[in-house]
Amino acid sequence: MKAADLIEQIDTIDSYKRYGRVKRVVGLMIESQGPESSVGDVCFIHVGKKRKHMIQAEVVGFKEEMVILMPYTAINNIAPGSLVETTMKPLEVKAGVGLIGKVVDSLGFPLDHSLLPKGLASIPTEQEPPNPMSRPPISEPIEVGVRMIDSLLTVGKGQRVGIFAGSGVGKSTLMGMIARNTTADLNVIGLIGERGREVREFIEKDLGPEGLKRSIVVVATSDQPALMRIKGAYTATAIAEYFRDKGLNVMLMMDSVTRVAMAQREVGLAVGEPPTTKGYTPSVFAVLSRLLERTGTNQHGSITAFYTVLVDGDDMNEPIADTVRGILDGHFVLDRNLANKGQYPAVNVLKSISRVMNNITGTGHRDAAEMLRERLSTYLNTEDLINIGAYKKGTSQEIDEAIRLYPQIISFLKQGTNEKVSISESIMSLQELTGKG
């Protein structure tokens, strides 16, 4: 580098440090007089004796002459007059091949307290979604290793899908199956707002050593401040974007986007936003749109994304579920009735849809899938009549065929958690079952 270029770079460096002072703390909200900063900037609050300890916080808004901050960690030891130092830049995390196989927090640090490997790049957690005109169309399927999904709800590379479920219906088990069996180059898994107990259970039981060695897991548990839960979702997405820009086909799984929305509601209410739709603030829906649009395809690679959505009382029309369903490219509905019958994965095929399936599958495959749906729907519509003996065999050829195939259909839809089925095997089994080739 030439001396003139070096001098120019030195001249552009801001050598000043900007400080403010804490005026008051209300709940999770910290009000500070100064420093000069922008929304999204990371600040350090100096606390303790001789101000040796620092609490990391972020600027989330302004109120008259005051700067409003929210902390990434607990706010112990903050006192009136505590010094607030701004970094003048938003949160950045480390990403790279060295992170594969690790479990990190929302700030990108390993949860086992080990040191980050060398050679990682710094990336901002908040980035712009790809330009719509630079997104290649989704043109080929990606194997997830779950027979029901690969055959009847085929997912494409770069597709974004919502997994809608109440509590205890098997969404974590389904995510673990996909993570272990998929042909994607890498998994990035965001566990947002999970119970601390469930994190290790998911990693050791559902994901397993085989899944972990090709995954990066980002964890923000339910006991952490709202901002850490939001940043967990942003960090997982940013890491996935980093590998997509390297040309990889990435599988991003986030459990759950509902808890991201709840965390954003906490932040919105704290800074004075009015609650609108069922208590959610307007910023919740803006944040969801930006977050979900960041995944998908770009000119380098793809992020195939699965987002779980918790539906209270299995209500599919509550605000977050309705909003997410409108943004994504498909939805899988986990049915509690199927889980109670012991049918796993408990995906209700008739209520689920993959919006890109017709663009990435052949005619024979589509015809076979449509026929299976028709036979299953026919049986379920007449199930009560069949069970009470009110249906007389021979009355309808379609119903007779549905009754004959129903046991085989249920057997086809079931799959053991450790059973791996390739997409070609899934399609072949579907065509053999329906007689369509």
Answer whether residue 370 shows pLDDT above 90: yes
pLDDT at 195: 86
pLDDT, tens only, 376-433: 999 999 988 888 888 888 888 999 999 999 999 999 999 998 899 999 999 999 999 9
Confidence tier at 63 by pLDDT (50, 70, 90): confident
Q: Which residues contact 2 (CB under 8 A, 6 or more apart)?
A: none
pLDDT at 75: 80
Strands 249-255 and 92-95: unpaired
CATH number of 364-434: 1.20.1270.330
Q: Bigger pLDDT: 318 or 110? A: 110
The CATH classification of domain 18-90, taken from the options 3.40.50.970, 3.20.20.140, 3.90.850.10, 2.40.10.170: 2.40.10.170
Measured in degrees and rounded to the nearest 5, phi and psi for residue 220 equal -135, 105
Confidence tier at 19 by pLDDT (50, 70, 90): confident
Largest CA distance in the chain: 93
CB atoms within 10 A of CB 79: 10
pLDDT at 218: 97
Cα–Cα distance between 309 and 80 in angstroms, integer?
A: 40
pLDDT at 408: 95
Q: Bigger pLDDT: 75 or 281? A: 281
Answer whether residue 314 shows pLDDT above 70: no
pLDDT at 371: 95
Q: Bigger pLDDT: 285 or 52? A: 285
Answer whether residue 346 shows pLDDT above 90: yes
Average pLDDT score over residue span 359-377: 95
CATH topology of domain 93-361: Rossmann fold (3.40.50)
Distance from chain centroid for Cα 103: 16
Lowest mean pLDDT among 111-115, 137-141, 213-217, 363-367: 111-115
| Three-state SS annotation for the chain | CCHHHHHHHHHHCCCCCCEEEEEEEECCEEEEECCCCCCCEEEEEEECHHHCEEEEEEEEEEECCEEEEEECCCCCCCCCCCEEEEEEEECEEEECHHHCCCEECCCCCECCCCCCCCCCEEEECCCCCCCHHHCCCCCCECCCCCHHHHHHCCCECCCEEEEEECCCCCHHHHHHHHHHHCCCCEEEEEEEEECHHHHHHHHHHHHHHHHHCCEEEEEEECCCCHHHHHHHHHHHHHHHHHHHHCCCEEEEEEECHHHHHHHHHHHHHHCCCCCCECCECHHHHHHHHHHHHCCEECCCCEEEEEEEEECHHHCCCCHHHHHHHHHCCEEEEECHHHHHCCCCCCECHHHCEECCHHHHCCHHHHHHHHHHHHHHHHHHHCHHHHHCCCCCCCCCHHHHHHHHHHHHHHHHHCCCCCCCCCHHHHHHHHHHHHCCC
pLDDT at 338: 92
Query: Which residues of the chain does CATH 2.40.10.170 include?
Result: 18-90
User: In terms of Cα–Cα distance, which of 406, 337, 414 is closest to 377?
Assistant: 406
Question: Burial, 242: exposed, middle or buried (Cβ in 10 Å; 0-12, 13-18, 19+)?
Answer: buried
User: In terms of Cα–Cα distance, which of 194, 202, 189, 188 is closest to 221?
Assistant: 194
pLDDT at 50: 66
Cα–Cα distance between 369 and 373 in angstroms, integer?
A: 6
- Whether residue 163 contacts residue 311, with contact meaning beta carbons closer than 8 Å, is answered with no
Measured in degrees and rounded to the nearest 5, phi and psi for residue 82 equal -55, 140
Cα–Cα distance between 59 and 39 in angstroms, integer?
A: 5
Query: Which residues of the chain does CATH 3.40.50.12240 include?
Result: 93-361
Cα angle, residue 373 at apex, residues 367 and 375 outer, rounded to 5°: 100
Lowest mean pLDDT among 160-164, 357-361, 395-399: 395-399
pLDDT, tens only, 284-303: 999 999 999 999 999 999 99
Query: Which residues of the chain does CATH 1.20.1270.330 include?
Result: 364-434
Cα–Cα distance between 154 and 360 in angstroms, integer?
A: 8
- Whether residue 254 contacts residue 305, with contact meaning beta carbons closer than 8 Å, is answered with yes
Average pLDDT score over residue span 104-132: 92
Answer whether residue 5 shows pLDDT above 90: no
Q: Bigger pLDDT: 389 or 352? A: 352
Residue 206, CA atoms < 13 Å, CB-side half-sphere = 19
Residue 411, CA atoms < 13 Å, CB-side half-sphere = 7
Cα–Cα distance between 204 and 215 in angstroms, integer?
A: 13
Answer whether residue 76 shows pLDDT above 90: no
Question: Burial, 423: exposed, middle or buried (Cβ in 10 Å; 0-12, 13-18, 19+)?
Answer: buried
pLDDT at 305: 97
Strands 19-26 and 29-33: antiparallel
Answer whether residue 186 shows pLDDT above 90: yes
On average, the pLDDT of the chain sits at 90
For helices 319-327 and 257-270, the axis angle rounded to 10 degrees is 120
pLDDT at 390: 87
Confidence tier at 12 by pLDDT (50, 70, 90): low
